[in-house]
Amino acid sequence: MDRHWTSLFSDLDVKVQADAPLGPLTWFGVGGCADALVTPRSPEALAELVRRCRHNQVRVRVLGSGANLLVDDAGVEGVVISLADPSFTSLEVNTEGGIELMKVGAGHDLMKLVTECARRGLAGIEGMTGIPAQVGGALAMNAGGRYGEIGDAVHAVAIVRPDGALRVYAKSELHFAYRHATLPEGVIAWATFSMREENPVEVRARVREYMAYKQSVQPMSNSAAGCMFKNPVDPGTSQRVSAGKLIDDAGLKGHRVGKAFISDRHANFFTCEPGARTDDLRELVRVAQSAVRERTGLGLETEVVFWSRHGDGA
């Protein structure tokens, strides 16, 4: 970490780890270090940290659960923010009358949130069952699947802007699309969701149903992150087609590059063994993209986020 900007943190209520290994914090378990991993202990500390980083032209990234992230072997520059402190993992519901809104910190675990809502009989986000993420990361990519998207339930999103100001955006000011959210620049601090009260037994039954489906078709392991690719649109039908089926049809189930391989259970899930490198997974991505494009003419866009010192992206 460049010593000249360590003073960014010296008087802030934050935890700082210099040259922090990021690989162990991701589901893939590979990748290099961040110059600094910073965990703010209050919203005020987060706001001032973001403001100072912008003022000093220090790159900021936010680390969520690491389930949809691949970090370059050479690591990343600048500051990586973790919202793991309890001040960013809170859950609040209105205490009088019927429950209509739920406020959740960006660092709250999405799967735990689904479970808690089911226990309380709160319906609205059970479609997120089985999706590994923190709430902020799920919002940033509009996480979802067969049973809906998180953007469907959003009421408002609070974002710490680059100048350190906290701004709350109503859903009408935002745009959610397939695996994409158009959000203002900054760090998501919390969000509110529109909920409805239902019989807890019925909500829990839907959660069990959705999880059973996921377990029947997807590899559920810590070394396999979420889907590697978004489902592309077939220009002939204007409908999305399964990226996993396209890769399977190209004969790539089980295909290996180094210690990384395509799942033989679901071809849109890439996984790796101990000793794998990020470059193994990058090459595996290129192999799949090339094979599908040659066979069908369709391009595959990664859903997994790639971090690199040379620019983020696959």
Catalytic residue annotation: 179, 227, 303
Instruction: Give the whole-angstrom CA distance, residue 165 versus residue 242.
Output: 41
The CA-based dihedral angle spanning residues 136, 141, 147, 152, taken in that order and rounded to the nearest 10 degrees: 70
Are β-strands 33-40 and 76-82 bridged in parallel, bridged antiparallel, or unpaired? Answer: parallel
- What is the DSSP secondary structure assignment for residue 236, as one 8-state letter? T
Distance between CA 6 and CA 20 in Å, rounded?
14
Q: 272 and 261 in contact (C-beta within 8 Å)?
A: yes
Q: What are phi and psi of 307, to 5 degrees?
A: -105, 135
Q: Is 178:240 a contact under the CB 8 Å cutoff? A: yes
Q: Which H or E run contains 248? A: helix 243-249
Q: Distance of CA 92 to CAs 116, 131, 190, 191, 193, Å?
A: 11, 21, 11, 11, 11
Kindly list the distances between the CA atom of residue 236 and the CA atoms of 233, 240, 247, in Å, as whole numbers in the listed order: 9, 10, 19
Contact (Cβ atoms closer than 8 angstroms) between residue 195 and residue 101? yes
Other Cβ atoms less than 10 A from the Cβ of 182: the count is 10
Of the candidates 261, 258, 248, the one whose C-alpha atom is nearest the C-alpha of residue 292 is 248
